[in-house]
Amino acid sequence: ASPTERDLDTTRHPTTGGTASPEVAEQAARRRTFAVISHPDAGKSTLTEALALHAHAIGEAGAVHGKGNRRGVVSDWMEMERDRGISITSAVLQFAYAETVVNLLDTPGHADFSEDTYRVLAAVDAAVMLVDAAKGIEPQTHKLFEVCRARGVPVITVVNKWDRPGLDALAIMDELTTRLDLHPMPLTWPVGVAGDFRGVLDCATGDFVEFTRTPGGATEAIATRWSADEARRTVGDAFTQAEEEYDLLNASGHGFDLELFLSGAATPVLFGSAVLNFGVRQLLDTLVALAPAPSARADVSGGAREVSAPFSGFVFKIQAGMDKAHRDRLAFVRVCSGRFTRGMVVTHADTGRPFATKYAQSVFGRERATLDEAFPGDVIGLVNANALRVGDTLFAEEKVAFPRIPLFAPEHFAVARAAVSGKQKQFRRGIEQLGEEGVVQVLHSDRRGAQAPVLAAVGPMQFDVAKHRMEHEFGSPIRLEPLPYSVARAVTPDALPQLENRGGAEALTRADGVHLAVFADKWRMSSVERDLPAGALSPIFG
């Protein structure tokens, strides 16, 4: 739109005299911002490719994730990552599907947990939970689902790999109910058992959607729609069985209910095969029809920032060293309100200082493109964001601060020491920066001293990243000595003296001033807790 058109579009913002734009509200309504959560190998990379293929964002499947010999453009930014064939960092894939702009935020795909994944889930409006038909709910799926639940992120479930022998569809519904306490509401129901997949029953219309394999699999699968009458004639038993199963489910309260989905109590379920591109279009249609668009975001004052208010956003991820040639630090910002235009000067809520956005980029793995404009739900990458930390708010015109992203209870602890003497300055600076970026949590105590900070992580992979960056980026290789703790709680200052000289327990302090009590295990924690003032320990997360 030309500037004049924009001016015509905007009205004065009711509360501040700033601008509230109906066009921004319209743009926000077109957005769907989500992440895929799954256990490794459930097919997340394959699904991501298939989604992009359907949306025609990229020309061929295989261009998204650089596995094997496929042309890789995403997130293999570190040698370490390439060596292991895993993605450590998150990228953002944006594509258009019909009238909708879809933002798919990638989450790290390795077996290990990292706090990165949790933070990405703070920046999405919905999640797609990918379940391997043969394996059902796996540990990492479970853990990530709990994060979605805690954050109120609604979840769409996709049962993947239906082209292969697997569990019974009803057994998978059972797992959702009993293991996740999540009420399944199938939108499609498989026709033919896992391994002999014919297509799906469209639960809303009763039609049969037949899937036909296409040679190569890299092109879009052919889906043909038949009426139930035709399907009964041509497919026979497999179709009538699917109808009977779904009728039973529907009669026992598993019909679709939008409110239940949005509240997080229930999940729509789709069946498909990412590798054959079966069911991928249904997923896109479901995202468009059911997933929530960006909406007003709660701020720290108890109010909420409407999407049409002036620009605001928060940093959900900091990434450094993406590009060896440019040792820069990139802050990923989720836009919450307003129109972002490159070059605008925004305010950093924490310091009140201006932040120039001349170098705003959209980032997709290693590929970066200059970004000129963004709307609520979009993600912008800000280059040279040395002043920004995870959780920080940026705003224009009208002041706002969003709640910080909660830090999660670390489960792995190690003492870090400079491996080379004479590098104390680099050591300290590096450790401090890694803590600020949230690569690891950095904990100190008087007893251990400044030379021996304790690094804490949700997943041990975070230690590998810290080690790698200390050596290659900060020029101070480190040694890590694991500590025998596995549980952490926030602890009130009055209880600190009682934690001194207790075996299997220790008190440490984080840079943000939070005191942590760490314990060898839950039993140790329970026994120590009995001697502490009531309510001294609180779970940092969960």
Is residue 515 annotated as involved in ligand binding? no
- Give the Cα separation of 98 and 184 in Å (integer): 27
Q: Which stretch binds ligand GDP (CB under 6 A): 157-165, 285-293, 350-358, 369-377?
A: 157-165
Instruction: Pick the closer one to ligand GDP by CB: 135 or 502.
Output: 135
Three-class SS of residue 464? helix
Residue 246: both structure tokens together: 């779904």
Instruction: Pick the closer one to ligand GDP by CB: 186 or 313.
Output: 186
Binding pattern for the stretch 161-200 against ligand GDP, x by CB under 6 A and - elsewhere? x-xx------------------------------------
Instruction: Please state the closest distance from residue 186 (CB atom) to ligand GDP, in A.
Output: 18
Is residue 206 annotated as involved in ligand binding? no
Distance of CA 290 to the CA centre of its chain: 19
What's the Cα-to-Cα distance from 5 to each of 23, 26, 392, rounded to whole Å? 10, 15, 32
| Conformation bin of residue 239: beta by default, left when phi > 0, alpha when psi is -120 to 50 | alpha
H or E element: which one contains 266?
A: strand 266-271
Instruction: Please state the closest distance from residue 472 (CB atom) to ligand GDP, in A.
Output: 26
Q: Does residue number 42 form part of the binding site for ligand GDP (CB under 6 A)?
A: yes
Q: Which stretch binds ligand GDP (CB under 6 A): 33-41, 188-196, 244-252, 532-540?
A: 33-41
Q: Does residue number 277 form part of the binding site for ligand GDP (CB under 6 A)?
A: no
Q: Does residue number 362 form part of the binding site for ligand GDP (CB under 6 A)?
A: no
* Count of all residues that appear for the chain in the document: 542
Sequence-distant (≥ 6) Cβ neighbours of residue 194 within 8 angstroms = 133, 134, 161, 162, 163, 164, 165, 166, 167, 168, 169
Angle at Cα 469 formed by Cα 464 and Cα 471, nearest 5°? 100
Instruction: Pick the closer one to ligand GDP by CB: 21 or 46.
Output: 46
Is residue 109 annotated as involved in ligand binding? yes
H or E element: which one contains 28?
A: helix 22-30
Is residue 110 annotated as involved in ligand binding? yes
- Give the Cα separation of 190 and 178 in Å (integer): 21
Options 275, 487, 505, 516; binder of ligand GDP; rule CB under 6 A: 275
Ranked by CB distance to ligand GDP, the top (closest) residue is 43
Instruction: Please state the closest distance from residue 44 (CB atom) to ligand GDP, in A.
Output: 3
Compute the half-sphere exposure of residue 349: CA atoms within 13 Å on the CB side of its CA.
22
Largest CA distance in the chain: 81
Instruction: Pick the closer one to ligand GDP by CB: 138 or 473.
Output: 138
Q: Does residue number 393 form part of the binding site for ligand GDP (CB under 6 A)?
A: no
Is residue 435 annotated as involved in ligand binding? no
Residue 367: both structure tokens together: 């590929």
Q: Does residue number 273 form part of the binding site for ligand GDP (CB under 6 A)?
A: yes
Neighbours of 374 (CB within 10 A): 25
Options 103, 117, 160, 312; binder of ligand GDP; rule CB under 6 A: 160
- Residues 77-116 within binding reach of ligand GDP (CB under 6 A): 109
Q: Does residue number 70 form part of the binding site for ligand GDP (CB under 6 A)?
A: no
Q: Does residue number 477 form part of the binding site for ligand GDP (CB under 6 A)?
A: no
Kindly state the number of chain residues that form the binding site for ligand GDP, as judged by CB under 6 A: 17
Sequence-distant (≥ 6) Cβ neighbours of residue 504 within 8 angstroms = 484, 519, 520, 521, 524, 528
Pairing relationship of beta strands 92-97 and 183-186 according to DSSP bridges: unpaired
Instruction: Pick the closer one to ligand GDP by CB: 45 or 114.
Output: 45
Q: Does residue number 40 form part of the binding site for ligand GDP (CB under 6 A)?
A: yes
Q: Does residue number 43 form part of the binding site for ligand GDP (CB under 6 A)?
A: yes
Q: Does residue number 66 form part of the binding site for ligand GDP (CB under 6 A)?
A: no
**What are phi and psi for residue 374, nearest 5 degrees?**
-150, 155
Interacting residues toward ligand GDP by CB under 6 A: 38, 40-46, 67, 109, 160-161, 163-164, 273-275
Show binding-site residues for GTP. 106-110
